[in-house]
Amino acid sequence: MLARSLRAISPTKGHEYRESRAKRALELVIATPAALATSPLMGSLAMAKRLEDGGSAFYVQERVNSVGESVGVVKIRCMREDADSNLGANLTHAVQFGEDKDPRNTRLGSFMRKFELEELPQLWQVVRGDISLVDIRSAPQYVFDHLHKECPDWVGEWEKAYLEGEGGLFSLNSAISNQRKDDARRYHFDMLYSRKASLGLDLFVLYRTGLRMADKLASKVRSSTRRIKSTGCQNRLK
């Protein structure tokens, strides 16, 4: 019944849906209140980042939009200011170490990357229409260059699918894959989204993303609880 209702609201799928008013309406309905609600947190994290090392609070990364041009995507800075000088590290560190354990992170940056808080400012860019809330994950030019070199068998098809929509803040790949930062493994989920994109699929991506974040938070709470209990037991033994 839910699937039929969603198809009645927005019967288009694939490329037509990615350019539809229904998709844009969903983005505004979700991103606008989310951006307003999290604005105090964005401000607090930006101020804390500024105080942590005296550097800039925000970082702008140029990513490719639907016409092949660059669009600045804003993040709260979570790495050292010289971190972007090594493109090889950009492509491998998040996969090799994990986002929150990337050695280029600052202490606050590791916390933000664990819960993806550095990306909160992008909610305002969704409202503005710079990026989509859900689509194929937006990528910088160096990812395109890397894929053309390392994955020539499928990069042309992937690039065509990418350029049919605006890069997304969330994606099917990031909602499902355990290796969401591994660009060489994104092909199947990205191509599936490009063919099957729909109102229902966007809601599914948001639902799975919410579950993933809730699991991270629950894991953090369990870890903190175990540490507190362990400390208490050691104090009693003393």
Per-residue pLDDT of 158-176, as tens digits, reads 999 999 999 999 999 999 8
Q: Tell me the C-alpha distance between 149 and 229, whole Å.
A: 50
Q: Tell me the C-alpha distance between 212 and 218, whole Å.
A: 10
Amino acid (one-letter) located at 139: A
Q: Is 116 left (phi over 0), alpha (psi -120 to 50) or beta?
A: left
Helical packing angle, 141-150 and 155-163, nearest 10°? 150
Q: What is the pTM of this model?
A: 0.87
pLDDT of residue 217: 84
Name the residue ranges covered by the structural domains of the chain: 17-220
Q: Tell me the C-alpha distance between 199 and 26, whole Å.
A: 8
pLDDT at 87 over 60: yes
